[in-house]
Amino acid sequence: MKPSALLAAVALALAAPAFAQDLAEISLADPRQEAQAVALMDSIRCVVCQGQPVSGSNASLAGDMRRLIRERIAAGDKPEDVRAMLVSKYGDWVSFKPVVKPATLPLWIVPLLALLGGVWLVSRRVRLGRG
Amino acid sequence: MNRKVLLWAPFVLVVALFGAFFVGLRNPDDRVIASQMVGKPLPEFSAAAVMPGQPGTASSDYRDGKPRMINIFASWCVPCAAEAPMLAQLKAAGAQIDGIAVHDAPEPLAKFLAQNGNPFSRIGLDPEGRAQIAFGSAGVPETFVVDGQGKIIYQHIGIVEPKDVPMLLNLLGIKP
């Protein structure tokens, strides 16, 4: 082992205990709660490095949000309540899961309309082919 | 005629769609995230004292009828040093400014304040960003104005610039 690699290994070994208790980085003991927390983290947007979920971001504010999410889930809060809390602070934008409300209605309706339009076009084609 | 329009419509739609994609790619989505807490009462928060002789700050400090500014900053934040002269100017005009130092530590914070001045009545340490998230703040520096009833009436994202000083004084009810 090169001296620099050895140094890095020692530094890592020393640094690890400092994070050992930090819920921003370590999993919850209960696997079911951890799964809930991770699912939520995957769908909460990091407000610093936008476009990344907080689960995959190195920004310190993303770490703060992971810690907060794990704490609240461990305390028995429902994931959707934690999401609602974050949305109440940062707006809908912080959640990757779009909500249904008048402003987002087109998002939900347009695919349906497109599907209906497609069915109509195809059914015409079929009828024409037969005729 | 009608049939021709119908035939060309999908093509036109696709061209329009790609046009929208192109414009979207040229203008990256670099948006400012405004706090949803503006217009609402201060959230519950507490940031412990860190500087000797300067109290920390908590939500219970803001219901005494006096409007205040809360500056969210950090010693490691370069733009925060740039807004120091404006904060000093606001303080000189009679503004009360409280500071919340995010992800900070006593030593670098003391150094920062010695270098850039200390316009704060109170300074609280927010090592895990709890107060920052409670405020719906997405970065540093950000400045909130709280009215005398403990309601957030304004959020300023980024550096307080010279042109912002009269507006902030006005919000605080201070005649220049």
pLDDT digits (tens, 9 = 90+) for A24-39: 889 999 999 999 999 9
pLDDT at position A17: 45
DSSP state of B77: -
Q: Write out pLDDT tens, residues A54-90.
A: 999 999 999 999 999 999 999 999 999 999 999 999 9
Higher pLDDT, A50 or A112: A112
Q: Write out pLDDT tens, residues B118-162.
A: 999 999 999 999 999 999 999 999 999 999 999 999 999 999 999
- Residues from chain B that touch A67, judged by Cβ atoms under 8 A, are 128
Q: Please tell me the pTM assigned to this model.
A: 0.80
Helix (H, G, I), strand (E, B) or coil at B82: helix
Q: Write out pLDDT tens, residues B4-20.
A: 888 899 899 999 999 99
Asked if B129 is an interface residue toward chain A (Cβ–Cβ < 8 A), one would say: yes
The ranges assigned to domains in chain B are 46-171
Q: How confident is the model at residue B63 (pLDDT cuts 50, 70, 90)?
A: confident
Which residue of chain B comes nearest to A114, CA vs CA?
A: B10
Asked if A47 is an interface residue toward chain B (Cβ–Cβ < 8 A), one would say: yes
pLDDT at position B163: 96
* Backbone conformation region of residue A66, classed left if phi is above 0, alpha if psi is from -120 to 50, else beta: alpha
pLDDT at position B29: 67
- Residues from chain B that touch A88, judged by Cβ atoms under 8 A, are 36, 136
Radius of gyration of chain B (CA): 22
Cα separation of B34 and A92, whole Å? 11
Please give the distance of CA B101 from its chain centroid, rounded to a whole number: 12
Token code pair at residue B28: 């990256």
Cα separation of A122 and A128, whole Å? 10
Residue B110 to residues B52, B56, B123, B163: CA-CA distances in angstroms? Answer: 10, 14, 11, 28
B46-171: CATH number: 3.40.30.10
Cα separation of A108 and A50, whole Å? 24
Distance from CA of A3 to the nearest CA of B (A): 31
Which member of B29, B43, B129 has the closest CB to residue A64? B129
pLDDT at position A7: 58
ipTM for this prediction: 0.83
Most confidently predicted of A85-99, B1-15, B54-68, B154-168:
B154-168
In contact, B133 and A65? CB cutoff 8 Å: yes
